[in-house]
């Protein structure tokens, strides 16, 4: 079995894995970081979004071995020194989550979005969330939270 | 300390306690849990809608790498396990009980839908289990399938269960037939409408999952599962399936990622996992992938209806008669039979004073996945029917849609409808007025004209809805066929240091109980919310409970907490009276402090709590040590949330794309504990309603019975850019049937919104009806086939 | 997923050698279609040869009258490229509309065209912009490259290296996404350039991307939305499913073509 090594949330992580192991399963099962979720099997729901070398990627659509040597950030690595990331804060402040299952992927997508497009409007946020499905919130408060976070981070 | 001062009081938009773990990735959903030495289960499912199983050969699969065990229906039957049950019995017009075909955990000799469970493979890894499953050789004799609902009651239709001729499980009726016929006979106007309520697939984002375990030493089984009601699951698994005695079975529903009804039911997979855990002597874990969820989660809706409304010459409704054929799928699921009957027919009066109503519902088996409660459960179907035919009546009589509603609103309460329900409170005109104002009804003609200049079609649609929540009291539901009581339990445990654990039989899977319930308790006891812990979802901690569905947790679950808090206060006052050497009647409890009326004597909450446990000098005959009280609360009636939703759409006739340009929802939920959470519930409900009206459709191929919409490639989930921001408002009439005056808010959005949208689309296009979902292709086709006059408008 | 061997070659040459050696290999170039396919157990390659990270295939160069894009260039990179935005804004906009942001961060242009999903976007751009597809063995004209659903002119062991897009004078792509999958239900790319006028349609055809000669002729006479507005596309040969009939798709081709011409200016 190939040995795969990468940096996850700032720490080195490596394991022997089958080549067919998806990055999401490496993260969840080998590293025990279960904040990253699997909500579909067609790579559409976005519950599994993590950052690979600073960019949002669906960890269910990439093999762990493809991420060899990469710098991975998961939702667990977002808060720094016990302080929530502004996007995390905004999701709580604006009730951008209910059951919480899609939330890690939503938050990771939102952080990436704000990095790419600091000046957001509602239409852009809604379009950019095409790859993230939420069944609880109707997106209303997710959109509000992302807009608020982008303001706060300016 | 006052909770109003800290912003934590009732009515405050308190931020949620549970959010910290979810936004940091520290939630614990079932699939996040790994048990020592756990194995993985994979279910081999039927690829056919209907087939006899001639033979299952598992020999090659058993020898495959990593395989621990393989179970088939024969193993289950040999072990004497019962099948899955329907907990609600409905009777037909002729008095006979519904005709129920057996629902085995794993198929015995017949498979009845694509996805039906054929075998369970247990292996060291999921991949190994799945590979081994591919090696199981099943010899099927494929049979014709009954799929298209409209054709399934014919004599020629393939039979799903021999127990139910013409695939008819029940022929149910409600209302007064002679009175209804008489009213129709003297009507000035009869409006007729045929309606389809499209099949939906729930799609909670967390797929179902289970981990079954068995401890040989104690004989105790433990099941972690994605359940909205773990106690009901335990009861069914014990009393009916016979997995283990109730006191030897622990069911834990940890963080659950959405339910919308689909996680109420007791399914084959979790049953098989917990049962087989004892056989293999190791924990067994199963997590559905999304494709399995599509095939095997209970679906929702799926009605065909014919409705007729009788009116007098003034547009006053005289009578409503309805014939509905409801799809039950291949087997009765846990509450299937109640959904198209008592949760549907009883709401057909809507917000209107309709003197006579008669409804017939045929429950029909088909070779498709079981159909059961999905957000709203029966009530969206009723509301869709009522609000579509009322709108049609308005158009056919030429009476303004708002005016025809006003003329027929129920205005005095209590109001007994002809279909069981006794509405207790409401003000329907108030929500209609507020919604019309919010949508700028007066400005609509100008907006329509402006849109026309841009080549776009605008329409406005109303939905004045009512629903029944709480699903109670137990005596009432029992008389209607429920196999369970529908009360709720609560236990308040005050710890010696003054903080409080509240055990509830409700279950939160997104609704925010940990916050709302704590808000209630904290404000009652005058302590900070952080000192209140809401405990739920574990049968070892909470003694019994009925779970969360039907928007019942506020009205029923919180009422139980209020009742337990009443008892806590009674006992605490007794202790306070003893400690301060005063009469109990003189003790006042306010803002977390006990005082003796007319004196400066006082005792803070924390000190009283400690004293309750030190119990020094208690007169033991009068005061027991400790401070812990429980309560079971059975409401006196259903609750009746109601309101008005108005939708404004703009249609691009070139593509058929419908854009919702404004969606207004004005709801009366009675007392609101946390408006932020309530608004979130409404948003989510509306989104699912928009999904039903515009996007979502569970489709089976009528010939083969294959699920055509088996993934997000074909089942259209609402995305952020499909939806607008919503415009919400509230009116309030207090519910007289529970101590807090609450009505329930979880389903209103999904119940109210579909007819508002379809009324808006048919208004824009000038057509009578369009089938849901009104996809761009359907809207475009409707435009192509419009009468010339309408097209030229 | 079934088991497979995985290799990440350091050069194109090494990739070719690995490809020649393996039993039933597949190239992995981002994997945004391939990985989901493998997860569904719909393919069983013996080896995955990962060229998604090959630096020598990850480039965008504007030279002369064309933009050259390396096969392993990600959709997000194409969308953001100043060269593409300047010389071929329609192509940049198309790339910005592929899948979702996370997919655009992994998916590559080479992977997309080699897969030739009948509902993907790039084939329409290649065909409408007279693109040249450079492989390890030869140069293939876009007109010759796409051979029907999931079929291309690529031979075993042949790897796409680069796609050359000559600059258009005018171009635009209009997509009507499938409401569920968000892939193109109908995508129309119109262009005017040294090659004349081209109209390429993706998503709608049973055999993948195709050109619409009647529209090209009409636009050659008069480059205006009205020129295509009354052209009715025959429904024969178009897809039909629960999302729409062939007639609907035929109609959408006209609507999207009209809008694309309007957008191209």
Q: For residue B1, what pLDDT band results from cuts at 50, 70 and 90?
A: very low
Residues B87-113 as b or e (16 or more Cβ within 10 Å = b): bbbbbbeeeeebbbbebbbbbeebbbb
- Which of B435, B516, B502 lies closest to B744 in space, CA to CA? B516
Tell me whether residues C181 and B714 touch, CB distance under 8 A: yes
Whole-Å CA distances, B771 to A50, B57, B314: 40, 45, 30
The whole-number pLDDT of residue B547 equals 87
Q: DSSP letters of chain C?
A: ----EEE--SSHHHHHHHHHHSSSEEEESS-TTHHHHHHTT----SEEEE-TT-GGG--EEEETTEEEEETT-BHHHHHH-HHHHHH-HHHHHHHHTSS-HHHHHH-BHHHHHHHT-TT-SHHHHHHHTT-EEEESS-EEEHHHHB-STT-BSPPTT--EEEEEEEPPSEEEEEEEE-TTT-SEEEEEEEEEETTEEEEEEESSBTTS-EE-HHHHHHHHH--SHHHHHTPPPP-TTB--BTTB-HHHHHHHHHHHHHHHHHHH-
User: What does the block give as tokens for B48?
Assistant: 């056919």
Tell me whether residues C35 and A131 touch, CB distance under 8 A: no
Q: What is the DSSP letter of B469?
A: B
| Structure-derived torsion over alpha carbons of residues A67, C101, B293, B256, reported in degrees to the nearest 10 | 80
B273: domain CATH number is 3.90.1170.50
B245, B217 in Cβ contact below 8 A?
A: no
Q: For chain C, what is the largest distance between any 2 Cα atoms, rounded to a whole number of angstroms? A: 56
Name the average pLDDT for chain B. 95
Q: For residue B479, what pLDDT band results from cuts at 50, 70 and 90?
A: confident
- Tell me, yes or no, whether B375 and B463 share the same domain: yes
Looking at the domain A86-152, which fold is it?
DNA polymerase; domain 1 (1.10.150)
Q: What is the pLDDT of residues B645-683, one digit of tens each?
A: 999 999 999 999 999 999 999 999 999 999 999 999 999
Is B788's pLDDT higher than 80? no
Q: How many domains does one find in chain B?
A: 3
Query: Using CB atoms within 10 A of its CB, is residue B667 exposed (0-12), middle (13-18) or buried (19+)?
Result: buried
Q: What is the pLDDT of residues B703-714, one digit of tens each?
A: 999 999 999 999
Tell me whether residues A138 and B257 touch, CB distance under 8 A: no
Last residue of a domain, one of B296, B315, B349: B296
B24 touches chain A (CB under 8 A): yes
What are the chain B neighbours of A137 within 8 Å (beta carbons)? 680, 683-684, 687
A143 touches chain B (CB under 8 A): yes
Q: How far apart are CA B347 and CA B466, in angstroms?
A: 7
The whole-number pLDDT of residue B5 equals 52
Of B131, B655, B714, which is closest to C180 when you measure between CB atoms?
B714
Please report whether residue B4 resides in a domain.
no
Compute the 3-state secondary structure of chain A and give helix, strand, coil in percent, each to the nearest 5.
Answer: 40, 20, 45
Q: How many cross-chain Cβ pairs, B to C, lie less than 8 Å apart?
A: 45
- For residue B340, the cross-strand partners are none
| Structure-derived torsion over alpha carbons of residues C177, C183, C187, C189, reported in degrees to the nearest 10 | 130
Tell me whether residues C4 and A128 touch, CB distance under 8 A: no
What does residue B441 show for φ and ψ, rounded to 5 degrees?
-60, -40
Q: Which of C101, C103, C175, C183 to mutate to test the interface with A (most CBs of A within 10 A)?
A: C101
Q: Mean pLDDT over residues A133-152, rounded?
A: 98
A151 touches chain B (CB under 8 A): no
C31, C106 in Cβ contact below 8 A?
A: yes
- Tell me, yes or no, whether B603 and B689 share the same domain: no
Share of chain B above pLDDT 90, in %: 91
- Which residues 68-87 of A have a C-beta within 8 angstroms of B? 74-76, 78-79, 84
Rounded to an integer, what is the distance from CA B564 to the centroid of its chain?
A: 26
The whole-number pLDDT of residue B792 equals 42
Q: How many CA atoms lie within 13 A of C87 on its CB side?
A: 20
- Tell me, yes or no, whether B308 and B379 share the same domain: yes
Q: When comparing pLDDT for B548 and C22, which is higher? A: C22
The whole-number pLDDT of residue B548 equals 87
Q: Which of C33, C180, C185 to mutate to test the interface with B (most CBs of B within 10 A)?
A: C180
Verify cis geometry, omega within 30 degrees of 0, for the bond prior to B773: yes
Scanning the structure block, which residue is given the tokens 């037909």? Answer: B92
Q: How far apart are CA A31 and CA A16, in angstroms?
A: 12
- Tell me, yes or no, whether B211 and B291 share the same domain: yes
B373: domain CATH number is 3.30.365.10
- Which of B639, B635, B89 lies closest to B335 in space, CA to CA? B89
C27, C19 in Cβ contact below 8 A?
A: yes
Q: What is the DSSP letter of B238?
A: I
Is A89's pLDDT higher than 90? yes
B66 touches chain A (CB under 8 A): no
Q: For residue A54, what pLDDT band results from cuts at 50, 70 and 90?
A: very high
The whole-number pLDDT of residue B6 equals 63
- Tell me, yes or no, whether B557 and B675 share the same domain: no
Q: How many cross-chain Cβ pairs, A to B, lie less than 8 Å apart?
A: 183
B786 three-class SS: coil
As assigned by CATH, the class of the A3-77 domain is alpha beta
Scanning the structure block, which residue is given the tokens 């490809």? Answer: C19
The whole-number pLDDT of residue B478 equals 86
Tell me whether residues A100 and B684 touch, CB distance under 8 A: no
Q: What is the pLDDT of residues B317-359, one digit of tens each?
A: 999 999 999 999 999 999 999 999 999 999 999 999 999 999 9
C230 touches chain A (CB under 8 A): no
Of B291, B776, B780, which is closest to C179 when you measure between CB atoms?
B776
Tell me whether residues A20 and C1 touch, CB distance under 8 A: yes
Is B499's pLDDT higher than 90? yes
Q: When comparing pLDDT for B545 and B709, which is higher? A: B709
Last residue of a domain, one of B633, B651, B682: B633
Q: When comparing pLDDT for C38 and B485, which is higher? A: C38
Q: What are the extents of the domains in chain C?
A: 5-166, 170-264
B660, B722 in Cβ contact below 8 A?
A: no
Phi-psi sector, B418: left (phi>0), alpha (psi -120 to 50), beta = alpha
What are the chain C neighbours of B775 within 8 Å (beta carbons)? 179, 243-244
User: What does the block give as tokens for B144?
Assistant: 């014709």
Query: Using CB atoms within 10 A of its CB, is residue A131 exposed (0-12), middle (13-18) or buried (19+)?
Result: buried
Please report whether residue B730 resides in a domain.
yes
- For residue B742, the cross-strand partners are B670
A53 touches chain C (CB under 8 A): no
B160 three-class SS: coil
Tell me whether residues B714 and C252 touch, CB distance under 8 A: no
Q: How far apart are CA B571 and CA B408, in angstroms?
A: 50
- Which residues 693-752 of B have a C-beta within 8 angstroms of C? 695, 697, 699, 708-709, 712-717, 719, 722
Q: What is the pLDDT of residues B158-187, one digit of tens each?
A: 999 999 999 999 999 999 999 999 999 999
Q: For residue B790, what pLDDT band results from cuts at 50, 70 and 90?
A: very low
Which structural domain range is residue B569 located in?
19-27+487-633
Of B655, B714, B722, which is closest to C176 when you measure between CB atoms?
B655
- Which of A23, A37, A19, A5 lies closest to A105 in space, CA to CA? A37
- Tell me, yes or no, whether B268 and B308 share the same domain: no
- Which of C103, C104, C143, C105 lies closest to C127 in space, CA to CA? C143
Q: How far apart are CA B350 and CA C212, in angstroms?
A: 54
Q: What are the extents of the domains in chain A?
A: 3-77, 86-152
Q: What is the pLDDT of residues B680-694, one digit of tens each?
A: 999 999 999 999 999
Q: How far apart are CA B464 and CA B431, in angstroms?
A: 8
Q: Mean pLDDT over residues B223-247, rounded?
A: 96
A138 touches chain B (CB under 8 A): yes
Q: How far is A57 from chain B (nearest CA, A)?
A: 17
Mean pLDDT per 10-residue interval, chain C, length 265 residues: 94 96 96 93 94 97 97 98 98 97 97 94 98 98 94 95 98 98 97 97 95 98 97 96 97 98 96
Is B53's pLDDT higher than 70? yes
B152, B161 in Cβ contact below 8 A?
A: no
- Which residues 46-105 of C have a C-beta within 8 angstroms of A? 48, 50, 52-53, 76, 99-103, 105
Q: How far apart are CA B560 and CA B632, in angstroms?
A: 6
Of A19, A42, A56, which is closest to C102 when you measure between CB atoms?
A56
Share of chain B above pLDDT 70, in %: 98
Q: What is the DSSP letter of B465?
A: E
Looking at the domain C170-264, which fold is it?
Enolase-like; domain 1 (3.30.390)
ipTM of model? 0.98
Pairing mode, strands B532-535 and B500-504: parallel
Q: How far is A68 from chain C (nearest CA, A)?
A: 10
- Tell me, yes or no, whether B501 and B362 share the same domain: no
Q: DSSP letters of A19-84?
A: TT-BHHHIIIIIS--TTS----SSS-S-TTEEEETTEEEETTSSBGGGGTT-EEE-GGGSSBTTBP
A125 touches chain B (CB under 8 A): yes
Q: Which of C186, C241, C248, C256 to mutate to test the interface with B (most CBs of B within 10 A)?
A: C248
The whole-number pLDDT of residue B765 equals 97
Q: What is the pLDDT of residues B10-20, one digit of tens each?
A: 999 999 999 99
What are the chain C neighbours of A51 within 8 Å (beta carbons)? none
Tell me whether residues B688 and A135 touch, CB distance under 8 A: yes
B301 three-class SS: strand
Query: Using CB atoms within 10 A of its CB, is residue C156 exposed (0-12), middle (13-18) or buried (19+)?
Result: exposed
CATH value of C5-166 in 1.10.730.10, 3.30.465.10, 3.50.50.60, 3.60.15.10: 3.30.465.10
Q: How many CA atoms lie within 13 A of B29 on its CB side?
A: 32
- Which of C165, C169, C142, C167 lies closest to C223 in space, CA to CA? C169
Tell me whether residues C32 and A61 touch, CB distance under 8 A: yes
Q: What is the pLDDT of residues A24-41, one digit of tens each?
A: 999 999 999 999 999 999
- Tell me, yes or no, whether B285 and B311 share the same domain: no
Of A19, A41, A44, which is closest to C6 when you measure between CB atoms?
A19
The answer to whether the predicted template modeling score (pTM) of the entire model surpasses 0.90 is: yes
């Amino acid at each position: 079995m190939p040995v795969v090594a990468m940096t996850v949330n700032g720490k080195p992580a490596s394991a022997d894995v089958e080549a067919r192991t998806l990055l999401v399963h490496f993260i969840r099962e080998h590293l025990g970081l279960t904040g990253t979720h699997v909500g579909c099997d067609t790579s559409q729901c976005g519950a599994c979004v993590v950052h690979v070398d600073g960019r949002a990627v669906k960890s269910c659509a990439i093999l762990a071995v493809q991420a060899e040597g990469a710098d991975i950030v998961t939702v667990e690595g977002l808060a720094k020194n016990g302080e929530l990331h502004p996007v995390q804060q905004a999701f709580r402040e604006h009730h951008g989550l209910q059951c919480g299952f899609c939330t890690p992927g939503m938050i990771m997508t939102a952080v990436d979005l704000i990095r790419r497009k600091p000046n957001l409007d509602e239409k852009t946020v809604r379009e950019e969330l095409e790859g993230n499905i939420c069944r609880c919130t109707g997106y209303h408060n997710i959109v509000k939270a992302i807009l608020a976070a982008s303001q706060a981070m300016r | 300390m006052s909770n109003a001062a800290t912003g934590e009081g009732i009515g405050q938009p308190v931020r949620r306690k549970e959010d910290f773990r979810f936004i940091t990735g520290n939630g614990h959903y079932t699939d996040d849990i790994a048990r020592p030495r756990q194995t993985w289960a994979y279910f081999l499912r039927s690829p056919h809608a209907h087939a006899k199983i001639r033979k299952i050969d598992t020999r090659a699969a058993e020898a495959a790498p990593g395989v621990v065990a393989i179970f088939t229906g024969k193993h289950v039957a040999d072990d004497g396990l019962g099948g899955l049950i329907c907990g609600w019995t409905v009777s037909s017009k002729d008095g006979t009980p519904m005709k129920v075909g057996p629902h085995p955990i794993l198929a015995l000799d017949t498979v009845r839908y694509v996805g039906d469970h054929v075998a369970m493979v247990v292996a060291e890894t999921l991949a190994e289990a799945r590979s081994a499953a591919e090696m199981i050789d099943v010899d099927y004799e494929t049979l014709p399938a009954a799929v298209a609902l409209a054709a399934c009651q014919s004599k020629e239709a393939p039979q799903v269960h021999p127990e139910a001729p013409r695939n008819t499980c029940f022929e149910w009726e409600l209302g007064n037939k002679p009175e209804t016929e008489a009213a129709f006979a003297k009507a000035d106007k009869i409006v007729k409408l045929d309606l389809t309520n499209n099949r939906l697939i729930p799609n909670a984002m967390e797929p179902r999952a289970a981990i079954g375990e068995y401890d040989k030493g104690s004989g105790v089984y433990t099941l972690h599962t994605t359940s909205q009601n773990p106690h009901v699951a335990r009861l069914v698994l014990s009393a009916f399936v016979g997995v283990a005695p109730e006191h030897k079975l622990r069911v834990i529903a940890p963080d659950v990622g959405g339910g919308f009804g689909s996680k109420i039911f007791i399914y084959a997979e979790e049953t098989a996992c917990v049962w087989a855990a004892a056989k293999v002597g190791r924990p067994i874990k199963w997590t559905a992938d999304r494709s399995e969820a599509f095939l095997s989660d209970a679906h929702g809706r799926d009605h065909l209806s014919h409705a007729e409304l009788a009116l007098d010459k003034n547009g006053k409704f005289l009578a409503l008669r309805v014939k509905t054929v409801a799809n039950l799928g291949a087997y009765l699921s846990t509450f299937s039979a109640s959904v198209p009957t008592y949760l549907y027919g009883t709401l057909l009066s809507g917000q209107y004073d309709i003197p006579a109503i008669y409804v017939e519902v045929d429950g029909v088996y088909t070779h498709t996945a079981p159909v059961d409660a999905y957000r709203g459960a029966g009530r969206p179907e009723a509301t869709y029917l009522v609000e579509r035919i009322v709108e049609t009546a308005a158009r056919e009589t030429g009476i303004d849609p708002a005016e025809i509603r006003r003329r027929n609103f129920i205005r005095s309460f209590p109001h007994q409808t002809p279909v069981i329900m006794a509405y207790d409170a409401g003000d329907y005109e108030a929500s209609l007025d507020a919604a019309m104002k919010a949508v700028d009804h007066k400005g609509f003609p100008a907006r329509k004209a402006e849109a026309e200049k841009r080549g776009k079609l605008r329409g406005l649609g109303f939905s004045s809805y009512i629903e029944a929540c709480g699903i109670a009291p137990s005596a009432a539901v029992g008389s209607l066929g429920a196999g369970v009581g529908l009360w709720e339990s609560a236990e308040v445990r005050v710890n010696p240091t003054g903080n409080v654990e509240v055990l509830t039989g409700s279950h939160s899977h997104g609704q925010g109980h940990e916050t709302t319930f704590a808000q209630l308790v904290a404000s009652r006891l005058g302590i900070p919310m952080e000192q209140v812990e809401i405990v739920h979802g574990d049968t070892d901690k909470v003694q019994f409970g009925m779970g969360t569905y039907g928007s019942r947790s506020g009205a029923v679950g919180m009422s139980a907490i209020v009742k337990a808090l009443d008892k806590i206060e009674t006992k605490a006052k007794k202790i306070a009276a003893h400690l301060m050497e005063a009469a109990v009647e003189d003790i006042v409890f306010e803002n977390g402090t006990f005082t003796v009326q007319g004196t400066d004597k006082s005792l803070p909450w924390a000190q009283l709590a400690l004293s309750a446990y030190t119990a020094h000098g208690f007169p033991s005959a009068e005061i027991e040590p400790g401070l812990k009280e429980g309560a079971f609360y059975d409401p006196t009636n259903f609750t009746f949330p109601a309101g008005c939703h108005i939708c404004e759409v703009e249609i691009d006739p070139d593509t058929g794309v419908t854009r919702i340009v404004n969606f207004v929802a004005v709801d009366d939920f009675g007392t609101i504990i946390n408006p932020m959470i309530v608004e979130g519930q409404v948003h989510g409900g509306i989104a699912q309603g928009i999904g039903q009206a515009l996007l979502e459709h569970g489709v089976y191929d009528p010939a083969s019975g294959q699920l055509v919409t088996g993934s997000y490639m074909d089942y259209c989930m609402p995305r952020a850019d499909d939806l607008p921001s919503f415009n919400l408002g509230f009116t309030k009439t207090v519910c007289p049937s529970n101590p807090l005056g609450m009505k329930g808010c979880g389903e209103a959005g999904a119940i109210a919104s579909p007819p508002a949208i379809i009324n808006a689309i048919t208004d824009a296009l000038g057509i009578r009806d369009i089938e849901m979902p009104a996809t761009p292709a359907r809207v475009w086709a409707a435009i192509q086939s419009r009468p010339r006059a309408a097209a030229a408008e | 997923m079934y088991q497979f061997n995985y290799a990440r070659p350091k050069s194109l040459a090494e990739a070719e050698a690995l490809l020649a050696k393996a039993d039933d290999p597949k190239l992995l170039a981002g994997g945004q279609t391939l990985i989901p396919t493998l997860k569904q157990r719909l393919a069983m390659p013996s080896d995955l040869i990962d060229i998604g990270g090959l630096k020598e295939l990850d480039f965008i160069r504007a030279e002369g009258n064309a933009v050259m894009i390396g096969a392993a260039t990600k959709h997000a990179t194409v969308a953001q490229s100043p060269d593409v935005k300047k010389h071929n804004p329609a192509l940049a906009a198309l790339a910005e509309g592929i899948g979702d942001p996370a997919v655009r961060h992994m998916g590559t242009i080479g992977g997309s065209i080699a897969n030739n999903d009948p509902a993907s976007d790039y084939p329409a751009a290649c065909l409408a912009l007279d693109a040249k597809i450079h492989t390890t063995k030869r140069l293939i004209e876009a007109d010759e490259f796409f051979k029907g659903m999931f079929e291309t002119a690529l031979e075993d062991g042949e790897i796409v290296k680069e796609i050359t897009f000559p600059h258009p004078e005018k171009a635009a792509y209009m997509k009507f996404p499938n409401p569920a999958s968000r892939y193109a239900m109908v995508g129309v790319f119109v262009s005017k350039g040294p090659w004349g006028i081209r109209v390429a349609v993706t998503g709608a055809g049973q055999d993948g991307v195709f050109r619409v000669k009647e529209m090209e002729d009409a636009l050659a006479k008069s480059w205006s939305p009205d020129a295509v507005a009354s052209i009715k596309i025959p429904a024969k040969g178009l897809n039909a499913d629960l999302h729409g009939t062939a007639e609907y798709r035929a109609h959408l081709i006209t609507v999207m073509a009209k809008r694309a011409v309007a957008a191209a200016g």
